[in-house]
Homo-oligomer: A and B are copies of this chain.
Amino acid sequence: MDDIEQITEKIRKFRDERDWMQFHDPKNMAVSIILEASELLEHFQWKTTEEVERYARQNHAEIKDEIADIALYLFELADNLDISLINAMEDKLNKNEMRYPVEKAKGKHTKYDKL
Protein backbone atom coordinates (compact mmCIF):
# COMPACT_ATOMS: atom_id res chain seq x y z
CA MET A 1 0.00 0.00 0.00
CA ASP A 2 1.53 3.32 -1.01
CA ASP A 3 1.62 6.43 1.14
CA ILE A 4 -1.43 8.18 -0.31
CA GLU A 5 -3.54 5.10 0.36
CA GLN A 6 -2.14 4.85 3.86
CA ILE A 7 -2.87 8.43 4.86
CA THR A 8 -6.31 8.26 3.19
CA GLU A 9 -7.07 5.17 5.27
CA LYS A 10 -6.15 7.14 8.43
CA ILE A 11 -8.33 10.09 7.36
CA ARG A 12 -11.29 7.78 6.81
CA LYS A 13 -10.81 6.19 10.23
CA PHE A 14 -10.54 9.58 11.95
CA ARG A 15 -13.73 10.77 10.24
CA ASP A 16 -15.77 7.62 10.81
CA GLU A 17 -14.88 7.31 14.49
CA ARG A 18 -16.48 10.77 14.86
CA ASP A 19 -19.45 9.97 12.58
CA TRP A 20 -18.67 13.01 10.43
CA MET A 21 -19.44 11.59 6.97
CA GLN A 22 -22.94 13.09 7.34
CA PHE A 23 -21.36 16.60 7.02
CA HIS A 24 -18.82 15.75 4.32
CA ASP A 25 -20.81 16.13 1.09
CA PRO A 26 -18.78 17.55 -1.83
CA LYS A 27 -20.09 21.11 -1.41
CA ASN A 28 -19.16 21.28 2.28
CA MET A 29 -15.77 19.76 1.47
CA ALA A 30 -15.10 22.32 -1.29
CA VAL A 31 -16.10 25.11 1.13
CA SER A 32 -13.67 23.72 3.72
CA ILE A 33 -10.85 23.51 1.19
CA ILE A 34 -11.35 27.21 0.35
CA LEU A 35 -11.46 28.16 4.03
CA GLU A 36 -8.19 26.34 4.71
CA ALA A 37 -6.61 27.86 1.60
CA SER A 38 -7.61 31.28 2.95
CA GLU A 39 -5.89 30.57 6.24
CA LEU A 40 -2.73 29.77 4.30
CA LEU A 41 -3.01 32.94 2.20
CA GLU A 42 -3.69 35.08 5.27
CA HIS A 43 -0.11 34.48 6.40
CA PHE A 44 1.07 36.34 3.29
CA GLN A 45 -1.51 39.19 3.31
CA TRP A 46 0.00 42.61 2.46
CA LYS A 47 3.53 41.16 2.28
CA THR A 48 5.98 41.68 -0.60
CA THR A 49 7.58 38.68 -2.28
CA GLU A 50 10.74 39.20 -0.22
CA GLU A 51 8.80 39.43 3.04
CA VAL A 52 6.85 36.29 2.09
CA GLU A 53 9.98 34.25 1.41
CA ARG A 54 11.50 35.26 4.76
CA TYR A 55 8.21 34.72 6.62
CA ALA A 56 7.75 31.24 5.14
CA ARG A 57 11.22 30.21 6.33
CA GLN A 58 10.72 31.66 9.81
CA ASN A 59 7.23 30.23 10.31
CA HIS A 60 7.76 26.82 8.81
CA ALA A 61 5.65 24.91 11.35
CA GLU A 62 2.58 27.11 10.90
CA ILE A 63 2.76 26.97 7.10
CA LYS A 64 3.21 23.21 7.26
CA ASP A 65 0.03 22.95 9.34
CA GLU A 66 -1.98 25.09 6.91
CA ILE A 67 -0.83 23.02 3.94
CA ALA A 68 -1.75 19.84 5.84
CA ASP A 69 -5.26 21.17 6.51
CA ILE A 70 -5.88 21.71 2.81
CA ALA A 71 -4.40 18.31 1.93
CA LEU A 72 -6.49 16.44 4.51
CA TYR A 73 -9.74 17.71 3.00
CA LEU A 74 -8.52 17.34 -0.58
CA PHE A 75 -7.40 13.72 -0.15
CA GLU A 76 -10.68 12.85 1.57
CA LEU A 77 -12.82 14.52 -1.10
CA ALA A 78 -10.95 12.64 -3.85
CA ASP A 79 -11.48 9.40 -1.93
CA ASN A 80 -15.19 10.11 -1.37
CA LEU A 81 -15.66 10.62 -5.12
CA ASP A 82 -13.60 7.54 -6.09
CA ILE A 83 -10.94 9.69 -7.69
CA SER A 84 -7.32 8.54 -7.70
CA LEU A 85 -5.42 11.71 -6.86
CA ILE A 86 -2.20 10.63 -8.60
CA ASN A 87 -4.08 9.52 -11.68
CA ALA A 88 -6.01 12.82 -11.78
CA MET A 89 -2.79 14.81 -11.44
CA GLU A 90 -1.02 12.86 -14.19
CA ASP A 91 -3.94 13.33 -16.57
CA LYS A 92 -4.02 17.05 -15.83
CA LEU A 93 -0.26 17.42 -16.26
CA ASN A 94 -0.58 15.77 -19.68
CA LYS A 95 -3.39 18.16 -20.59
CA ASN A 96 -1.24 21.09 -19.44
CA GLU A 97 1.65 19.84 -21.60
CA MET A 98 -0.65 20.32 -24.61
CA ARG A 99 -2.05 23.64 -23.45
CA TYR A 100 1.33 25.14 -22.61
CA PRO A 101 3.89 24.04 -25.24
CA VAL A 102 7.38 24.92 -23.97
CA GLU A 103 8.27 27.09 -26.97
CA LYS A 104 5.18 29.27 -26.50
CA ALA A 105 4.84 29.34 -22.70
CA LYS A 106 8.48 29.64 -21.62
CA GLY A 107 9.05 32.52 -19.20
CA LYS A 108 5.47 33.78 -19.56
CA HIS A 109 2.52 33.61 -17.15
CA THR A 110 -0.09 34.03 -19.87
CA LYS A 111 -3.17 31.76 -19.63
CA TYR A 112 -3.35 29.08 -22.34
CA ASP A 113 -6.42 30.59 -24.05
CA LYS A 114 -4.44 33.80 -24.65
CA LEU A 115 -1.09 32.25 -25.55
Tell me the A residues contacting B by CB distance below 8 Å.
Answer: 2-4, 6-7, 10-11, 14, 17-20, 22-23, 25-28, 30-35, 37-47, 49, 52-53, 56, 60, 63-65, 67-72, 74-75, 77-78, 81, 83, 85-86, 88-93, 95-97, 100, 102, 105-107, 109
**Contacts A3-B4, A63-B83, A106-B18 given: A47-B27 contact, CB under 8 Å?**
yes
Q: Point out the residues of chain B lying under 8 angstroms from A77, CB to CB.
A: 67
Complex Cα distance, B102 from A69, in Å, reads 19
Q: Point out the residues of chain B lying under 8 angstroms from A2, CB to CB.
A: 2-3
> How many copies of this chain does the complex contain?
4
Closest to A5 in B: B3
